[in-house]
Structure formats: structure tokens, C-alpha cells
Amino acid sequence: MAEEEQLAIIVGAGPSGLATAAYFEHLKIPYTLLEREDCFASIWKKYSYDRVHLHLPKQFCELPLMPIPSSFPTYLSRKEFIHYLNDYVSHFEIKPIYGRLVETASYDEGLGKWKVKARDDHDQVVQEYWARFLVVATGETCDATIPKIEGLDSFAGKVLHSTKYKNGEEFKDKNVLVVGSGNSGMEIALDLANYGANTSILVRSPIHILSRRMTYMALVLLKYLAVNWVDSMVTIMSKVVFGDLTKYGIQRPKEEGPFTMKIKYGKYPVIDVGTLHKIKSGEIQVLPAGIKSIRGGSVAFEDGKEYSFDAIVFATGFKRSTKEWLKGDDYLLNDDGLPKPSFPNHWKGQNGLYCAGLSRRGLYGSAMDAQKIANDIKALIL
């Protein structure tokens, strides 16, 4: 078993890990960046659908120390954002070690260091890394998850998670069910409809739907006004612009506003880019009841209805496996791999443990975390 020692170890080369690495480079903090995939930002390079764009204006999506070029549009496409990330990695000379699946990370009290064991995906050899500081930057979108459904294994058609969906070309004239009504589910449903698929989307829970303009306005106002005031304003605007959505099978949450829900539960409002128009025109069918069971190509729902589908796309999100390999941490991260301390004190744990990009505040939150972590470590080693 080979060993390597560095001052800091970063686990994960997504945007959060890259932002942290860039700040370490800036402050001359020696580090090792471990990534299980064969590239950085794999969620963008390998696991995103073709039409995806950043839902927020570019100034809210910049990584630290390098602005997104002014020549880029306000809302970057997948290709444009990857271009920016490629330039970012080149500019800061970030060199992740790819194909390293972390199996355990534990703190050695006697040495005052973290020991990280990572398996090389190429030759399956376990490498041992030591460092005084450990940064968990594996992201909120870590491991794709599909719910357990009775009979799913018997489904006669194609089943895929949203991370495997690229575009709707192969689904033209097919009956396709999208499970999940977050931003990915809504946009994939739109993409399928645009490609001529007979599209249905499962919308069980109440959701807030905003336009890009409403969201931008809200983010600006949140700098000056309390979140409940901003929630009230954008909720009223949503009702005026989109009208009564209950007749299409969509309910709005009654108790809490969109940004309160984002802060408390990490549940993002849906930012509409055309899906609602397709729903209102009947091109996308909303199904409001959960799936009861699947038999062959037939899907039975909890309201007693039954439909036949050729494919099911699960836009059902992610889980985090951090606690499976991070040992001895009872302070910073919960069992779901998210911070126990509330914002803005979520980023720092004990014994030199940190986390970046887990504050449920998107790329803007990742940039803030990276700066705080780097400055804190720099102060400790001076």
C-alpha cells in the first residue's frame, strides 16, 4: 500500500472541490485533490442532459477568483459552463488525481492527521493519503437514486435516471413517464415533448414555480429584505403570471414560501423555461398520484388509474454516501451527508474537517465555502 502526505486533502473535483483547490493555489496551501470519476465536474461533463442551462444569472454562478467572461450570455448553457470550468482548471493549474474512490477517512488522534484510503479504479490498489486538513467536497448531487417500486424490475420498457438522459430524440412518438417534478424533471419533460414524445410527469407534492426574472429579482431583494417578504412578493407574482395551476394538477405550498423552503429543506423552486406552456396546452400530462405498482408496461397509480408507458425517466434526485466512508465525525455532517450546523456556520467541523458546497446555496455557496475554508487553514498554519 503506497502512502502520500500533504497538508490538505480535498475529496471531490466538482465545482466545490475546484473552487477550494483554486483558493488553496491562491494562498499557496499544498493539497491533494481526489476524484472518483475520470474527469472533473462529472455531473456537468457526463451526467447532464444536453439542453440544461444554469438557472441563475452568471454572476451568481461564478467560482472564486475568476469571473465568468462578459462575452458569455446571462444564462450559460452546459457547453459554455464546461468551457468556463476548463479555463478555470487550466488557469489555477489544478491537477486532480482521477479514479480514486475513497473507502475510508479517519482522524488519527495521536498524529493529529487524517488518514484517507482510496482505491485506484484502474488497478484496484489502495492508496493511503495523510493530511492535517480534510475537505469534503463531494457535492449535494453525489449518488443518483431511484425509489423502490413494486414491479419495477418487470417493466417492459426503458428505465433510466435523469443522469443518463441526454435528449428526447429516441423517444419520439413514445409514451414516456417522468417521475419527479424538480427542475430536472420539469425540463426533461419539456425536452421530451419538444422531441414529440407523449409525455406525462408525476407531480405529487406541492411546488413553487417561478420564472427566471422572478428568481433574479428575488436574489437581489434577499440582500436587503427578510426572506418572508421576498417570498410573499414572488408568490404573488407567480400567481399573477402563471394563474391557477390546480386545474392542471399542480398545487402550490400554502405554509412556506419558495426561498424559505430552499433554506430549510434544500428544496429549490421550479424555474420555468417553457414546461408550463406545454402543460397548459395539453402536450404534457400531469399525474398527481404516486406510483402503486408496475406490471410489464403498465403503471398503476395510487388514485386507481393505470397507464401504459414505453419508458420511465426518474428525476428523483441524489443521496450522499459520505457517512459510509467518513469515520469518527459526530459534529459536522448528518447521516444524509449534509451539515448539522446551520448556515453560516456549516462549513467547519472538528480536527481540521471541513465541507464545501453542502450549504444548499448552489454555486454561490460553494464559492463562499471555498474562501472561508482556505482563509481558515491559512490562519492556522501561519
Torsion sign across C-alpha atoms 324, 325, 331, 336: negative
Q: What is the pLDDT of residues 106-148, one digit of tens each?
A: 999 999 999 999 999 989 999 999 999 999 999 888 889 999 9
Grid cell in block for residue 210:
417561478
Cα–Cα distance for residue pair 98/344, rounded to 1 Å: 31
The mean per-residue pLDDT over the stretch 158-165 comes to 97
Mean pLDDT of the region 80-109: 97
Return the pLDDT at 3.
65
What does the pLDDT read at residue 5? 82
Q: For position 359, what pLDDT does the model report?
A: 87
| The three cell numbers locating residue 55 | 438557472
What percentage of residues in the chain have a pLDDT greater than 70?
Answer: 99
Please state, for a pLDDT cut of 90, what percent of the chain lies above it: 87
pLDDT of 185-237, one tens digit each?
999 999 999 999 999 999 999 999 999 999 999 999 998 999 999 999 999 99
- Nearby residues of 272 by Cβ (< 8 Å), 6 or more positions away: 186, 209, 210, 211, 242
* Confidence (pLDDT) at 142: 80
Mean pLDDT of 311-321: 93
DSSP assignment of 148-177: --TTGGG-SSEEEEGGG---SGGGTT-EEE
Provide, for the chain, the percentages of residues in helix, strand and coil under a 3-state DSSP scheme, each rounded to the nearest 5: 30, 25, 45
The confidence score (pLDDT) of residue 290 equals: 94
Stretch 92-96: mean pLDDT: 98
Alpha helices in the chain (DSSP H): 15-26, 42-45, 78-91, 183-194, 212-221, 227-242, 258-265, 275-280, 322-325, 362-381
| Predicted local confidence at residue 362, as pLDDT | 86
User: In the prediction, which pLDDT does 368 show?
Assistant: 95
pLDDT at 1: 55
Q: What is the pLDDT of residue 229?
A: 97
C-alpha–C-alpha distance, residues 172 and 160, integer Å: 16
Q: Confidence class of residue 70 from pLDDT cuts 50, 70 and 90?
A: very high
pLDDT tens-digit series, residues 253-284? 998 999 999 888 878 899 999 999 999 999 99
CB atoms within 10 A of CB 179: 25
Mean pLDDT, the chain, integer: 95
Whole-prediction pTM: 0.93
Q: With H, G, I as helix, E, B as strand and everything else as coil, classify residue 194.
A: helix
User: How confident is the model over 309-328, as a mean pLDDT?
Assistant: 94
* pLDDT for residue 349 is more than 60: yes
State yes or no: pLDDT of 328 exceeds 90: no
